[in-house]
Structure 1
Amino acid sequence: MESYEGQPTYSEKIETTEVIESHNNELTTASGEGGLQRNLQARHLTMISLGGTIGTGLFLASGSSISVAGPGYALIAYGLIGTMVYCFMSSLGEMTTYMPITGSINAYGTRFVDPAFGFMLGWVYWFSWSITLAAELVAAGLIISYWVPVENCPGWVWALVFIVVLTSLNLTTVKAYGETEYWLSLIKVLAVAVFIIVGFLYIGGAVGKGFIEADGSVAPQPGAAVFNMGPFHGGFAGLASIFLNAGFSFQGAELVGIAAGETKNPRKNVPRAIRQVFWRILLFYILTITIIGLCIPYNDPILGNADGNIESSPFTRVFVRAGIKIGGDIMNAVILVAILSAGNSGLYASSRALHTLSKEGSAPKFFGYVNRWGVPVYCVLATSLVGCLAFIVSLPQIGQGEAYNWLLSLSSTTGFVAWVGIAVNHIRFRMAYKAQGRNIKDLPFISHLYPFGPIYTILICAIILLGQGYTAFSPFSIKAFLSAYITLPFVVLLYLGNKFWCKTKILKLVDVDLDTGRSFIDITMNVDDTASQAEKKNSSWWKKIVHILA
């Protein structure tokens, strides 16, 4: 995946002033006092995506995946999903660098495919992240129960506290949100780095020798013998059953595209963020799962998360086995930060998707209101109300662990639909670009995986969406069937319903709008990066380390 510094053609320069004016109007015109503002920097953009992906999927669901399918199948599942993420991130990078607009996933669907397609993607994406917010709040309640038993303080109390905190953060300026997310995500990145170091020390025998289990037995020595206890457990059924976990874990990588419309210099910062986010996430997940598989047997009962106990976090388990007694408390605090960070990113992403729907006329007009600090207030509040679903599912009468599994399934399924939408949008974007006689080399960022990348994304997502619930048929389980497939009919209904009601048609390639919102400012103006380079060169050693990680 490489960038190409294309130069504007003569005709593009002629229309620059007109399009810049249109572009600025799109950013600043709203129903309220102002508009969305470009106040996010490159480091904010990178950490927003990391914040959305490094959450319960890594800290909790990874242990469950290894328990169900073994570390070998877990590596295959996460690796396969990781390659797919690489493909659609490349597609998204090409589109968002060319046309950096807020709520890009559904906006591109409306612009490049069909208004009904954009309508469907917008509501699916909003629903996906709203449910993710609820799932993160449920998980936060489970983590707090590590210190404060549910009998003393029920989970819905913590859900209420956290939803108020996250809503307050998202009602501040986007720059304040980006700065908060940067530091929260940095804590998570550092924690994962420390975990990897401790894991290798434990595997090498430097720490944690002869660890005694709670029942008095001696834990098996970490290494290849532990990994080989059941690397491919459960056969194909085990592998298929953890794809949703893997998908949920990577969900959030596409936040780069959502935040592009509020990012400074998107032509330079978006491609950089996409490269950094993908490789760091993939590195973290592959190394983490490998270490867990070498340290903890797949049949360790604590990994299964059957009772919703936070001790099932493999991170906590490895620290305890390594003999770091305080490690359990530290890791649980970090996991709590990770979950709040992921919920923070989810609330941001879903509120921007809802704002875009409103500007397109696919949601009530008042959701288009933006205050003078560039915050779509009503979109944030509406999404927070959906997050209050966590209040219900965290009630003891329903059961925390079971509720979390349902929310994870719903969020993962809708997340895969959104990724399919990105791939379809990219195919249509390229087809329209070619049909209108434009030169691919003029794109500021080129996805060299096209057309393989988007086609591969669509195939993998389709196989997972249709096949992930096949175990519900033998023997048939209505509960498992609904958990796997209940969202798919609603996706079809959203698309066909809007298409019938609004009488929309698939756009002709020559009629696709490839100009409104295009980043002509970045194309026609050179970016003087001297100051930032000088600052980087003169920064202290600890700032340089932070820059490498972030």
Structure 2
Amino acid sequence: MSREDYNHAISTNKSDTNLETISITGQDSHSDLFKVDDVHLKRSLKDRHIGMIALVSVFGTGLFLSSGGTLAKTGPVGIILAYAIIGVVVGLNQMAFAETASLAPLTGSTIRHAEIFIDEAVGFALGYLSLWQAILPGGLVSAALVIQYWSSLNPAVWISVLLVPIALTNIFSIRVYGEVEFVFALLKIGLILILVFAGLILDLGGVKGQERLGFHYWKDPGPFAEFITTGNTGKFVGFWAALSSVVYAYGGVQGIAMLAGETQNPRTNIPRAAKRILYRVVGLYMVAVFILSLIVPYNDKRIAVSDGTAAHSPYVIAFERAGIKVLPHVVNALTLCSAWSEANSGVTHTARVLFSLASKKQAPSIFLKTNDRFKVPFVGVALGLVFLALAYMSVDSTAATVFSWFQNITSSNLLLNWILISINHIRMNRALKAQGFQRSDLPYQNRIAPAGAWISLIASIILLITGGFTTFIHGHWKVSTLVSAYCSPVLFTVLYLAWKLVKKSPQIPIEEIIIPVLLEDYRTRPEDPVEKPKGWKILTLLWS
């Protein structure tokens, strides 16, 4: 249907035009696209929830623990450049994502967008790849390991203890999950600010017995580290190898629309949450990493390794150097919050990914079932909790090593998500143009989104291709590195081709992408305008 036909349908049938009255050739099955979410789920998440869920998903163990390994590879200037470059890629990607998600605010986000804008085989492959990543209980294993900083009890004890609140958070209303993650996000931000101010005081010589550091570590041992080889080549290799770990540190940003079907006013709140990625997530990351680069030298051997607790955190090492005893416990508590939140989010996302796949008939319909009172997809939640039991494998050190190896296989899934977010947006824009619509017809527009989609697409492809490049350097061949870097793209391709062979699904022609159906839903279900905060409500800008 062209824009002229769409406008004619509206003008001649204004009183009862809805999704069912618009017929799209070959696409009639999409008329109930939004009904699955509307019937089975309940929109309980407010703007403050969805915004803070984005923050809590991003600030994980990558900043507090693995940033030391990144610093060891790159040096102080190198780590700042790495975080800045990936931050720009993430920000541009989120602007494109905001436009697509506001037009099609569906549970599962990119998984269902791929079926709408590209091909159902792409949605199938991405869905099951995302499911694989969500069900692995890496967060719970990390949380139990972090507690070992304080306790010598068997990790199985803490796994059992931590499982209980995860189950309680997910079996009740999604509002409970939102409130829990909201509190954790506030706690994380507060603790990050404590680390930043403590690091700044340390750097400026505010700690008794500690000389002023200033930019000393930028000069000695230097601004860039050498990795694998020496000279400028070694500095570049270290910088490029660190980009992959920084990508994973930003992991989770694409999850802001996963709960679109349970979010109030999603066409307004999801774009707002996406925009916050630019000036909150990237801003906080850059400040935290900048302070880190000032207070610990990259050649400290302890930061290059990690036992999963705060013992090898670069922040802890810096504070221990200055004789500050309490802050290591703060860092470990922060790491524990992050790891538990990751495990909690994994169960939530497992249920929603399965719900999304079931809505497309790519998973058993039982995963569409929700309880009457809370409208929670409890079957998917139950399956997510069952898979969390795999965390008990960490009790045995050999099994834990094998489990960790398989967990790393899914790392490149983040880049695949960013690539498909960009492709969805590019095809959406092409469909708008081909069908006679304007970008101004979209519920949300951003001027930098069209160019941003292409930039983030190209950058993400390059990062995905070069993710395991160090294993091809002479003398540094590692099968584990090769597998963890490239297994996800291979699995994606296998899943994609399997669906193609079995279902023979064609790629959707640009002219048949259901832009009119999406715009009609937007037209017939307007959202309440956003009120500017006044009086005491101005304080809500801290989290909304």
Task: Give the TM-score normalised by the residue count of structure 1.
Answer: 0.87
Deviations 1:98-130 (A, max 9, x none): 221111111010111101011111112222233
Pairwise CA distance, 1:522: 7.1
- Residue 29 of structure 2: aligned partner: none
Q: Distance in 2 between matches of 1:28 and 1:351?
A: 16
For residues 16 and 241 of structure 1, what CA distance do their matches in structure 2 show?
59
Q: Which stretch of structure 1 is more off in the superposition, 108-117 or 440-449?
A: 440-449
Partner of 1:28: 38
Q: What is the CA distance between 1:495 and its match in structure 2? A: 0.6
- Provide the C-alpha distance between the structure 1 equivalents of 2:367 and 2:443, rounded to a whole number of angstroms: 32
Q: How does 1:41-120 map to 2 (within 5 A)?
A: 41-120=46-125
The amino acid that maps onto 1:483 is S
Partner Cα separation in structure 1 for residue 237 and residue 528 of structure 2: 52
Alignment-derived partner of residue 346 in structure 1 = 346
- Change in 2 beyond 3 A, CA 1:524/1:175: closer
Residue 326 of structure 2 corresponds to 326
SS, match of residue 454 in structure 2:
helix
Is 2:311 the counterpart of 1:311? yes
RMSD (CA atoms): 2.6
Gap change, CA 1:268 and 1:285, over 3 Å in 2:
same
- Aligned twin of 1:444: 443
Post-superposition Cα deviations, 1:229-285, rounded to whole Å, max 9, x if no partner, equal: 243212222223222211111111112221222111123222221112332110111
Please state whether the residue corresponding to 1:297 is helix, strand or coil.
coil
Rate the CA distance shift 1:198–1:251 in 2: closer, same or farther, 3 A. same
**Does the CA contact (< 8 Å) of 1:247 and 1:412 recur in 2?**
no
Kindly, what percent of the aligned residue pairs are identical? 28
Change (3 A) 1:393 1:236: farther
Structure 1 position 16, deviation (Å): 7.7
Residues 1:285 and 1:519: Cα distance change in structure 2 (over 3 Å): farther
Instruction: Determine the C-alpha separation between the residues in 2 that align with 1:16 and 1:39.
Output: 29
- Kindly tell me: are residues 24 and 357 of structure 1, through their superposed partners in 2, closer, same or farther at Cα, counting changes over 3 Å? closer
CA contact (8 A) 2:199 2:291 kept: yes
- Partner deviation per Cα, 1:135-168 (whole Å, 9 max, x = no partner): 222221221010012xxx2323323332342232
Aligned equivalent of 1:223, options 201, 214, 218: 214
Worse-superposed segment, 472-481 or 241-250: 472-481
Alignment-derived partner of residue 461 in structure 1: 460
Q: Is this contact kept in 1: 2:18–2:524, CA < 8 A?
A: no
1:449-469 CA-to-partner distances (Å, cap 9, x unmatched) read 343222222222222222121
Aligned 8 A contact 1:100 1:260 in 2: yes
- Does the C-alpha gap of structure 1 residues 498 and 251 become closer, same or farther in structure 2, counting only changes over 3 Å? same
3-state SS of 1:468 partner: coil
Deviation at 1:423, TM superposition (A): 0.8
The equivalent residue for 1:138 is 141
CA contact (8 A) 1:316 1:328 kept: yes
Alignment of 1:102-181 (within 5 A): 102-131=107-136, 134-149=137-152, 153-181=153-181
Query: 1:290, 1:466 → 2: CA distance?
Result: 28
Check the 8 A contact 2:139/2:339 in 1, yes or no. Answer: yes
Instruction: Give me the whole-angstrom Cα distance separating, in 2, the residues matched to 1:173 and 1:82.
Output: 33
If asked which structure has higher relative contact order (CA below 8 Å, sep 6+), I would say 1
Deviation at 1:404, TM superposition (A): 4.7
Alpha carbons of structure 1 residues 194 and 175: separation in structure 2 relative to 1, 3 Å: same
Instruction: Report whether the alignment pairs 1:420 with 2:419.
Output: yes
1:547 aligns with 2:541: yes
Q: Report what 1:287 is aligned to.
A: 287
Q: Point out the more displaced range, 162-171 or 357-366.
A: 162-171
Cα distance between partner residues in 2 of 1:167 and 1:521: 35
Is contact 1:419-1:457 (8 Å) kept? Answer: yes
For this pair of structures, how many residues does the alignment match?
Answer: 515
Partner of 1:386: 387
Any stretches of 5+ residues in structure 2 without a counterpart?
1-5, 21-31, 228-234
> Contact conserved, 1:101 with 1:517, CA < 8 A, in 2?
no
Mind listing any 5+ residue stretches in structure 1 that lack a counterpart? 1-7, 30-34, 211-219
Q: Secondary structure at the match of 1:448?
A: coil
Shift of 1:392: 1.9
**C-alpha contact 1:351 1:379 (8 A) present in aligned 2:** yes
Q: Deviations over 1:493-539 (max 9, x none)?
A: 01111111111000111211224465846776462555x73xx5235
The residue that corresponds to 2:535 in the other structure is 537
Q: Match of 1:254, SS?
A: helix
Q: In structure 2, what is the equivalent of residue 214 of structure 1?
A: none
Which residue identity lines up with residue 547 of structure 1 in the other structure? L
Kindly provide the amino acid, as one letter, of the partner of residue 354 in structure 1. L
- TM-score normalised over the length of structure 2: 0.88
Q: Give the Å deviation of 1:62.
A: 1.2
* Per-residue Cα deviation, 1:289-315 (whole angstroms, up to 9, x for no partner): 111110011122321234444311223
CA contact (8 A) 1:226 1:294 kept: yes
